[in-house]
Chain A
Amino acid sequence: MFDPETRAFLESGCGLIVGTVGPDGEPHAGRAWGMDVLDLGPPARTRLLLDADDERTIAHVAEGGAMAVTATNVLTLRSTQLKGRAMRPEVAMPEDDARAERYIEQFHADVHATDRVPWEQFQQILPAGYVACTFEAHERYDQTPGPGAGARVEAGG
């Protein structure tokens, strides 16, 4: 489902936003703090780090609910949306914390390069802790801003 270039893109310091849905159909927006591709697929499997304070996202994941993840390169705004299912939320391991730290460093470097946001200010949005989950991506869409946003990308792209 992913080629190596897509994998590198997803594992970089992209902005990661996460959408889930509760059993009542209520959508919920959150952020993620690092992604590692475990299997290129299809379906592709990733390990995704969620904000431990985001109780609703975690609850939706615990229910094995549908999830959408959009990854956006802050410098170019190239954007990809993955849709699939998230499962198995678990307390982050020390290696997950280290992964989140690397991700945040890259993410902030891009945000600083584009918008000159200092580290002191950027820290304001960083979570207090992480919960890891497995996200299985079944579909992929081009989400780069413009009239083509939302076009489905076939497997392997």
Chain B
Amino acid sequence: MTDRAVPEILLSQLSVCFEGAIPAVIATAAADGTPNITYLSRVQRVDDERVALSNQFFSKTAKNLAENPRASVLLMDPSTYDQYRLTVAYERTERRGPVFERLRADVDALAALGGMMDVFKLRAADIYRVLDIELVPSARRRPEAYEPPSPVDTRLDSTVLAELASRLARTSDLDTLVASTVRALADLFGYEHSMLLLLDEDGTHLFTIASHGYEAQGVGSEVSVGEGLIGMAAARGVPLRIGNLLQMQRYSRTVRRSFEGAGDLSPGHEIPVPDLPGSQSRLAVPALSLGQLVGVLVVESTAPVAFTVADEAALTVVASLVASGVEAERSRDRGEEELTIPTPIGVSSDAGGPATRVRFFEVDGSTFLDGDYLIKGVAGRILWALLGHHAREGRVDFSNREMRLDPSLDLPPFRDNFESRLILLKRRLDEREAPIRIDKTSRGCFRLVVDGPVSLEPA
């Protein structure tokens, strides 16, 4: 016997339960009293008295709720395995607005994992008033000895943000900016695995310009806009967060098979998980500047539900700073080139030794060094053009401006991304520890450094 009152449980204390790491359960009843029990894709807290439930399919649950607006929902805390039962009453359905959009982002994230963006869509967000919350007792967790969790602190640490802003403000070029960003995310925020992707020239792909904490840097790897969590964050222009990748991938695979079986979806590829073994949590935040997508900032963790709305908020600020920095650098780069004095023609300093074979495919710019893939697209064309000048004229010093005018690069006239592609090429060569590298010499100018002979092999 105890005289201790069971503490009241508030929705704000259950925020981690709404991260979707463990599927919620919902019981409803038809007008004739027949129950229905099933799992739910997503439950979200709307305010201190309401939750929103995802409605993707015209299901028995939806039919029951039209007849009988009451439901019983089981939620589980993925960090403690404490279980809660919510008694809820249906209030309304929303098909637009902030609640719908937030829930839609969650469902889109799930769809993106299975490549089902065309068919797996949120139809509506059903809003329920929460009438009661109780702890589900277990052998180990008795209500009389229970202390509710503290609400998650969603405040941003302005000191840390200020330090990051200060570091980025001190960077002098794009290369340093992207490197400083991923380093600062680890140093200041503790995000040990991060990557920054930039939008390409035609706005259809994102390419990795910098990463931190991965076995392979993956510089140059590409993601299509609209595909996977990262591509979907770019397409929608909103942050997407998943707290249990393994489970979500399993769920999306099952749904995908179901769609395939129904003939609604042709078999396709599943978006592969980036190279963090055992990744459980991922947060992809679009980097926008003046309303334009510049890239996507991504953090990952092997811990489930590693990221919360607080991380989302912090990274939104960081992504915005980075986007502004990238755009400012691009504008400055183009503007200052007008004042660039023609660069001196340097002298090639390559020494002897075995020649590095560079094989280039005109069709897509794919470039291989000694048989190993290096890069493709504009970055590949830049390298091929530079090495051509080097071979024909012995040149090593170049300016962005003259390279931009080179028709072989096939650059678009607007937002050509030249600087980004050059940095991508530089970082890719550095990652490979290639005998060819690019050094910045001054604003808008760079040097091609070639250690040893090079054999150019057009395919």
Contacts and interface: CB of A to CB of B under 8 A. Distances in A.
A26 B140 contact: no
10 contacts: A21-B35, A29-B72, A29-B85, A54-B136, A83-B35, A117-B81, A121-B81, A125-B76, A145-B255, A149-B38
Nearest to A60: B35
Interface string B403-436: 0000000000000000000000000000000000
Given A72-B39, A77-B254, 17 more contacts: A19-B37, A21-B33, A21-B34, A27-B71, A27-B72, A29-B27, A68-B36, A68-B37, A70-B39, A79-B39, A81-B36, A83-B35, A124-B80, A124-B140, A125-B81, A125-B138, A146-B57
Given A83-B34, A144-B258, A25 B68 contact: yes
Given A76-B254, A122-B81, A146-B258, A17 B37 contact: yes
Interface of B: 25-29, 33-39, 57, 59-60, 68, 70-74, 76, 80-83, 85, 87, 119, 136-141, 244, 246-247, 250-251, 254-259, 261-262, 264, 304
Interface in A130-157: 141, 143-150
Contacts of B27: 17, 19-20, 27-29, 68
A125 B135 CA distance: 11
A107 to B, nearest CB: 13
Nearest to A53: B137
Contact of A66 (B28, B34, B87, B261): B34
B interface secondary structure, majority: mixed
A127 B139 CA distance: 5
Given A25-B29, A27-B72, A147-B264, A126 B34 contact: no
Contact of B70 (A25, A123, A126): A25
A148 B28 contact: no
A146 B71 contact: no
Contact of B38 (A53, A70, A125): A70
A12 B87 CA distance: 30
Nearest to A20: B35
A66 B254 contact: no
- Smallest CB-CB A-B distances: 7 pairs: A146-B258, A19-B37, A19-B27, A124-B81, A29-B27, A19-B35, A29-B72
A1 B138 CA distance: 34
Given A27-B72, A29-B73, A77 B28 contact: no
B250 to A, nearest CB: 6
A58 interface: no
